[in-house]
Amino acid sequence: MKFFFILLVVLIGLWFWKQRQKKPSKPSTPAKKQDAHVIMLKCAVCGVHVPDTDALAGQRGAYCSAEHRRQAEGL
């Protein structure tokens, strides 16, 4: 009898786990909304705007590439 009880608990646990996995990711948040949070930085050399995640930080500002950072700061 104890075995069946454990089996039942395991089956219920698996069912809950499956239900959780079925849940689709919230489509209510559009991608555009997330883009608004991206901070755009202007390259100090060419003036191109790059997301702060892709920008390279230098002593005189942000740069779009290592090449431009080297040009501006002479590193």
**For the chain, what is the HEC assignment?**
CHHHHHHHHHHHHHHHHHHHHHCCCCCCCCHHHHHCCCCEEEECCCCCEEECCCCEEECCEEECCHHHHHHHHCC
Does residue number 68 form part of the binding site for Zn ion (CB under 5 A)?
yes
- Of 41 and 45, nearer to Zn ion (C-beta) is 45
Does residue number 41 form part of the binding site for Zn ion (CB under 5 A)?
no
Does residue number 40 form part of the binding site for Zn ion (CB under 5 A)?
no
Does residue number 69 form part of the binding site for Zn ion (CB under 5 A)?
no
CB of residue 37 to Zn ion, shortest distance in Å: 23
- Of 33 and 69, nearer to Zn ion (C-beta) is 69
Residue 53 backbone phi and psi in degrees, to 5:
-75, -25
Contact residues: Zn ion, CB under 5 A = 43, 45-46, 64, 68
